[in-house]
Amino acid sequence: MPGANETASTAVLPFVVREVSTDETYGYSEKNPVRVGGGRSAGLRNQLRYLNALKGPQGQAITYERQASCCAFKTRRGAVDNTGMLDVYAVKWAGKDKPVTLYINMYRGGKLLAPVGFSAAR
């Protein structure tokens, strides 16, 4: 995944994420995705702002790469037929051999926390 987000970190200012979730499923499950909001107009930007705010457990810089969309659900903010999809990202940091998978929902907002195993960056 080298270079997966080399330009994103400078092109999109990060959100402020100050706390780490105590829920071990937060962000790691399609049933409990990170909710960055923004919908069709600002959703992708909000995903990048969120990911750019995360650090590894000891404050390491992370790299991320979008893997897919999945897990269709109904939302009035969705594109075709009021359907939304979650975006799936593979995330790594120095010393992490196998990437972790994070699920992000850009159609609903919520309190932004770092998932368990990450640290809040900003």
**For residue range 60-100, what is the model confidence (pLDDT) as tens digits?**
999 999 999 998 887 766 666 778 899 999 999 999 999 99
pLDDT, position 82: 77
CA atoms of 50 and 34, how far apart (whole Å):
9
Domain ranges of the chain: 23-108
Q: How confident is the model at residue 1 (pLDDT cuts 50, 70, 90)?
A: very low
Average pLDDT, the chain: 87
The pTM of this model reads 0.86
Q: What is the pLDDT of residue 74?
A: 79
Q: What is the 3-state secondary structure (H, E, C) of the chain?
A: CCCCCCCHHHHCCCCCCCCECCCCCCCCCCCCCEEECCHHHHHHHHHHHHHCCEECCCCCCEEEEEEEEEEEEECCCCCHHHEEEEEEEEEEECCCCCCEEEEEECCCECCCCECCCCEECC
